[in-house]
Structure formats: structure tokens, C-alpha cells
Amino acid sequence: MHYKHDYRYKEPAPIINKENPFQSMMARFDIAAELLELEEGVYEYLKTPQSQHIISIPIQMDSGKVEVFEGYRVIHNNILGPSKGGVRFAPDVDIEEVKALAAWMTWKCAVLGLPFGGAKGAVKCDPTKLTMIELEKITRRYTANLLDVFGPENDIPAPDMGTNEQTMAWIMDTYSMHVRRTENAVVTGKPLILGGSLGRREATGRGVMIVTLSAMQQLGIPIQNSKIVVQGFGNVGSISAQLLKEQGCTIIAISDISGGHYNKNGINIEAAMEWVKNNKSLEGFPETENITQEELLELECDVLVPAAKEDQITEDNAGKIKAKIISEGANGPTMSSADPILNDKGILVIPDILANAGGVTVSYFEWVQNRLGFAWTLNRVNTRLERMMKESFSLVFDVSKKYNQPLRIGAYIVAIDKVAKTLKIRGIYG
């Protein structure tokens, strides 16, 4: 078995979810579908992915050996428009996870009123153990195998876990070579020089900031000196913290994989970002008290922003959370079993499909700019993002009130209703 790279899988892959993403999504989907009295056939239709592609990706490794990777692309549906969704490179990903994430994208795009359906892609590989040359070969072969699926009018990938701007540049170039023209609208999250959008990097954190302020306004919590706790200090967490601080909030605690940091007088977020740039993590960051991840989640505060990973708020710790608002920067940070506990405590949860949708919204702007051949100013991007996030928050808030449901179910109702109504008007071909 000389061609099997056993070393790649020596360490067991981390468990992505205690609650798998499909269960987590379906638990909420089912509540909303029932409230909407969705016909059984439509329920089945919306639950079922439109197409699922499993491809093999043979590449010659730097060692000269040939190795075969498995790749996936799932189109959940394209009822509202071309499907949109990231591509993740991870050693433990499988088709079930990709199916759930594709459906999640359908609801996220629908909540924000974007003219996109939902999709997701993946390659089962560990990008930390591959060279740039190997990663480029995997990306190009993955793209070539999915040429008939991808396209600016068909299906538009974006970065996700384990992929980045460079991956998008390779996808764009491979696609462009095959169609014999430069087609930058085939991916979003590209480098600026290839037609990426200004403001894309900060978009998810900016969206979190905008909906958090809207929620505080609804609850009558003064923004100045409000106390914010942020879990996770990567792209989403650090930018959310920075922008909320700019608005006058006090960030009393932050954390990353190395642990938590607390300062009741407020943390200097710019200094923390600089620290991470120089030291790779928050470990050793001065002028703060070290706290555990558990302590951080249970701090007395106005807003908790979980922006690290899934399944952080569980039925075990939900009862101990003292925040008035939870603004879900991460995807799936709250297990469905924790939802009723948070609800009973009167905590307002801004659900992931709304709170972190700023990223896909600016991806939409990037696609629009590429198709126009005209780049927007940063001001135009941020103004339009703010307007769309605020409008979506108000819509979800009103629908939740109407159905007497938490915002999460309100968001699912908005999304499912929109897709189901569009489906009804289009009709079912066949």
C-alpha cells in the first residue's frame, strides 16, 4: 500500500459537532415549517438537495506518488437564483455535512433577500499537511471536475474552512482557462486585484455589529459603555469586537483557542489584534486577567458574541449564561437543545443565519460588481450592507413577534416562506 498516505490520518480528526449540522438545522426547520403549515410535498422538496456531486481528485504529490482525494459539491436548491456557498478543505468532512451546510446557505441567502440559492463544497484533505503546489493541484482538479456545475449564472463558490483568497484565485483561473475568457464572477472572496470587493474581509464582523446594535436598540440597552464578551478572535470575532468598540461599547472579555482574557474596564482591541499578528494567538496578552472559556461564556454582560465554532452553548451551560443578547457570529454556536433554555431566560438570540450573513451579502455585492465590470467604493459597500442587515433584522424581528417565536424561528420562517412562495409561483416542472 505504498500509495496510501497513512500519516495524513494518524491523528483522529476533531469531532466537528456533537450535534451534527443536519440535525441542528432540521430541528429549527421543522418548527418553522409547522408554523407555516407547509404542505408535505413542499416540505420534502425543500429538505432534499437538488443535486449532489461526489468526485475523485487524483493528483501527483510532491513526492511523485499519486494520491486520490474525494471532493463534494451539493446544490441544495437554486429556486431564488444561482446557488452560492463556500468550499471547505477538511480531513473529516463528509457528504452529510456538506448537505446540511448547503441547506443552511439557502436559508441564509433567503433571510437577507439575496437572489441566490444554497450550495456547499468540500475536499476531504488536511490543508495543513499539504504543500502549496499540492493544494493548487487539488483545487484546479476539483474545479475542472465541476466545470459543468460552477458558473456565474449557475453556482458560485467562496472560501470556507481551510480555503482562502488564493484558493478562489485558482478556481477562477481554472474556470477561466476552460471557458476561454476571464470570468471573475464565478467565485467570490477573491483577492482585490482579481475583482474582489472592498469591505469583504470585514463584512461578517460588520454585519454582526450592525444587528447587535439593532437588537440593543430594541431592548432599550444604551450602547455607550455596554459590556460585550466575544468568544473567538479570528476574522469574525476580532472585527466584531473592533467595530462594536468603535461604536462606544466596552469589550470586557475576549478569547481564542489559547484561552480567555478579561478586563472589567475594557480591552484594548487594537492592541490585542496586533498581539495576535505578532504572536499567532492571544496567549500572554497583557493587562488582562486570564479566564477559562467556560467562565467567559458565563460572564455578566449585555451581549455575548460567540464567534469561534459550533456547539459552544449547550443544554449544560445555557442556564448559566447571563448575557441579555447573544449575537451568533459563528455558524451553529448554539445547540438546538439549548434554544428553549435561552428562550425561557428571556435572552434575545440573533441567529447565525441572520447575524453572520454580512459575509455572503458582500459576496453578493462582489458578484454584482464583477458582472457590472464596475468596482464600488468602500462607502457604497458598507452603506448597502448596513441597510440590508438592518432591514433583515427588522423583518425577522416583526415576524418573530407575529408568530410569538424567538428570532431564530422567525428567521427560518422568513427564509422558508420566501423560498416556498417563489417555488409556488414558479411551479414544479415535470
410 to 56, 225, 416, 424: CA distances (angstroms): 40, 29, 10, 21
Residue from 75, 156, 209, 236 in contact with ligand NAD (CB under 6 A)? 236
Q: Which of 84, 120, 245, 309 is catalytic?
A: 120
Residue from 21, 91, 329, 406 in contact with ligand NAD (CB under 6 A)? 329
Residue 113 makes contact with ligand NAD by CB under 6 A: no
CA distance 273 to 279: 10
Binding residues for ligand NAD restricted to 16-45, rule: CB under 6 A: none
Scanning 17-25, 50-58, 328-336, 386-394 for contacts with ligand NAD by CB under 6 A, the matching segment is 328-336
Binding residues for ligand NAD restricted to 239-268, rule: CB under 6 A: 255-257
Residue 275 makes contact with ligand NAD by CB under 6 A: no
Q: C-beta of 282: minimal distance to ligand NAD in Å?
A: 8
Cα radius of gyration (the chain): 21
Q: C-beta of 295: minimal distance to ligand NAD in Å?
A: 12
Residue from 215, 303, 318, 330 in contact with ligand NAD (CB under 6 A)? 330
Residue 410 makes contact with ligand NAD by CB under 6 A: no
> Which residue has the CB atom at the shortest distance from ligand NAD?
234
**How many residues in the shown chain lie near ligand NAD by CB under 6 A?**
20
Residue 13 makes contact with ligand NAD by CB under 6 A: no
CA distance 250 to 265: 7
Q: C-beta of 86: minimal distance to ligand NAD in Å?
A: 8
The helix-helix angle for 21-35 and 40-47 (nearest 10°) equals 150
120 is catalytic: yes
The alpha helices in 227-351, defined as continuous H runs, are 235-246, 269-279, 293-297, 339-344
Q: Quick check: 406 and 339 in contact, CB under 8 A? A: yes
Binding residues for ligand NAD restricted to 341-380, rule: CB under 6 A: 356, 359
Q: C-beta of 254: minimal distance to ligand NAD in Å?
A: 9
The neighbour count for residue 45, using CB atoms within 10 Å, is 17
174 to 138, 143, 346: CA distances (angstroms): 11, 7, 50
Each residue 212-231 as x (binds ligand NAD by CB under 6 A) or -, in order, gives -------------------x
Q: Which of 297, 305, 284 is nearest to 233 (CA)?
A: 305
The alpha helices in 124-164, defined as continuous H runs, are 132-145
Which cell numbers hold the place of 83? 446557488
342 to 32, 268, 320, 392: CA distances (angstroms): 18, 30, 10, 22
Catalytic positions, please? 120
**Which residues are near ligand NAD by CB under 6 A?**
204, 231-237, 255-257, 293, 307-309, 329-331, 356, 359
